[in-house]
Each structure stands twice: as C-alpha cells, then as structure tokens.
Chains A and B, each alone.
Chain A
Amino acid sequence: MLALIYTGMGLPPVVAGLFVYVLFSRAGPFGSLGWLFSMRAMIVAQTMLATPLIAGITMGSITSVDPDLRPQMHALGATPWQAVSTIALEARFGILLSVIAGFGAIISEVGAVMLVGGNIEGRTRVLTTAIVLETRRGHFALALALGVILLGLSFVTNSIIMLGQGRGRWRP
C-alpha cells in the first residue's frame, strides 16, 4: 500500500491521463459511460493525481506526531476517537500542506486533462490548456494574462484554505 502511494506521488500526469483515456475510450472497460472528452474524465484523472499526494503527505504528518501522545491522551480520559482526532489536529499543518499540494498539482496540470478532456472550447478547456493553446497560436499576451489569473486563483484558494484551517476546528 505504502509503495503504491509513493509511486502515485511521482506518477507522471501524462501516464495518468493515458490510463484514464484507455479506461474510458470506446473499447475500454468504461467506454459505455461515454465520459471521454468530458469534465467527468478530467475529474477522474485529476483525482488519480491528487489522491496519492494528499494521502502520502497526510500519512507522513500523522506518523511524525509523537507516538507517546496517544497513550497520554487516553490516560487523560480521551476515547479512542477523541485521541485520533487530537492526533489529526496535532498534524493539522501537514494535512493542510497535503491539501494545498494536491490542489497545486491539479490546478497546474496540463497533460492529463488535455489527453482525456480534449481541450474543447466551452466544455473541457481549462486555464492551463488554454495557456498552451494561446502560446502555440502566438497570443503571448493572452497566455500571460491567463497565467496571472491562474496564479491569482491559486493564491486566493490557498489563502481561504489556510484561513479556514485557523477557524472552526474542534479543539479538545
């Protein structure tokens, strides 16, 4: 399982895209769903790329919490579930980092979404694939503007995630 997660963390996006392409192509096992060149296929590919990253970094941050914490929380009267919640809260910065890393991998990704989405205007074109297209057309100003928007979106989303992390959490 661990080896699978670590392999997934280094999975080249194009390979993930190719895998999803094969799965959802007309001759593939899920071809009958008709998801190829749709948002659904893009979501599947992005999930495949982000999940190992989030799982791997979360696992690393949970295991870095002092193993003596759990019995000490039990000794203070915590139920097993409360002790697990406390450990997760202690690892909160690592978990937050995993979400940001997963989001970063998805928002900056081109290869997989291009393969399984097809970069169809109005349907499956996203900022990254639009940047590639406009650069190829020689519309550098537009490509740069889209790049700035992408950066801005990433900044705003990460800021919201970090603000959300600081509030509304259960603190035993």
Chain B
Amino acid sequence: MTSDQAGGAAPPDEYVEAEIQRLLTEDPAVAEQGITVIRREDTLVLYGEVESAHRREEILRRVAERFPDVPISSDIGVIRAQAPTEIEQLP
C-alpha cells in the first residue's frame, strides 16, 4: 500500500452508501430500517415507505445535512392507513 492511498481522498460511493444506510437506522431523528439506498450513476436514490410526511422530510434533511455534497433523489411514500376492503379466508 502506498502512503498517498492512506488518507485524504473522498470515500468511494460504496462507503457513502453504507454510511447513509446506517444513518437511516441509527440517527434517532430517522430510525428507519425500511428505506433502501440505491446508487445510480451520479446520484443516490432513497426509496421505501414511512408513516408520515414529516418523517420523509426529516430523512432528506438529515441525509443532506450529513452528506451535503452527495446528490440525493427520493421516492419515499407515506403508507396508506385505511380500513381493509377485503378479507382472507383460511380453512
């Protein structure tokens, strides 16, 4: 290993992806385990579903705050909570 590889360089995208995935769970302001992070060319896409619009906004705010230079796009939905219209019968 050469010494100039040891420090200073920006982490590879794969490490950023891993850090964001962990932030989504471990940051108390987020605490989401159901958000998927996908690397797509120059951007990271977050998708999944959360329980409120506030939580979706908080995810984007926290990720942007921690990784201001990483282009992020999001496709996070808010889960519907209506009564069911069908049942399942199990003999």
A and B bound?
A: no
Residues of A participating in the B interface, judged by any CB pair closer than 8 Å: none
Residues of B participating in the A interface, judged by any CB pair closer than 8 Å: none
